Amino acid sequence: MVHVRGSAHHDASGAGTSRPDTFDRWQRIFRGQESELRHLRRWLTGLLPDCPERDDLISVAVELGTNAVQHTASGDGGWFTVEVTHRAAVVRLDVTDEGGPCGPQVGGDPLSDCGRGLVIVRALAESCGVRGDRSGRTVWAEIAWAPAAAPERATAPALNGHPALRTRLTRPAAFREASAS
């Protein structure tokens, strides 16, 4: 288990319950190749329980992964990273690429072969956005997640011999107190 910001907190007795001050995070790095999108789909299918929310999240992940491969330096022999964070009723998906000359753009022509992926992302996500610049960007989306469909607290499966990073993060006490008031 990897802990962030030096935190060594891990509540073994709470392994089956989700506390409001904790969340689960899984992360994988993929080569910037179209063939990796199949591995991305398989990784998420093995990671998340079978439910409509999983299908939406996988669709969003593949669209954002496709954009990273086709429109950024990641597709020129680089890499892109996918991070999935589950917290309460939301699963957040972050896809980080190696940047490019311009940021993500929604196509204006519905009959075009390009630009419709972000329309799909916007339709399936509760919220989405982008941060970064030409040296690297993260496109994120948050998907509503029914509590009954919460991801398992198991180690994420490995693909192609590359294990996924799985962490359980705890918000610092000061942040918990500030958000409670």
| Domain spans of the chain, in order of start | 22-102+112-180
What are 122-177's pLDDT values in tens digits?
788 998 998 998 899 999 999 999 866 555 544 445 444 444 444 433 333 333 34
- pLDDT reported for residue 121: 81
Two structure tokens written together for 128: 């989405």
User: What is the fold of 22-102+112-180?
Assistant: Heat Shock Protein 90 (3.30.565)
Percent of the chain topping pLDDT 70: 60
Instruction: Name the residue with tokens 């610049």.
Output: 133
Convert 47-74 to b/e letters by CB count within 10 Å (16 or more is b).
Answer: bbeeeebbebbbbbbbbbbbbbbebbbb
Residue pair 115/105 in contact (Cβ under 8 Å)? The answer is yes
As a whole number, the mean pLDDT across the chain is: 73
* Dihedral sign of CA atoms 61, 63, 69, 73 in order: negative
Rounded Cα distance between 6 and 23, Å, is 16
Rounded Cα distance between 149 and 49, Å, is 6
Question: Does 34 have pLDDT greater than 80?
Answer: yes
Name residue 98's amino acid: E
Q: Tell me the mean pLDDT in the region 27-53.
A: 95
CA-based nearest residue to 149, from 61, 60, 55: 55
Neighbouring C-beta atoms of residue 32, cutoff 10 Å:
20
Q: Tell me the mean pLDDT in the region 65-77.
A: 93
Residue pair 61/82 in contact (Cβ under 8 Å)? The answer is yes
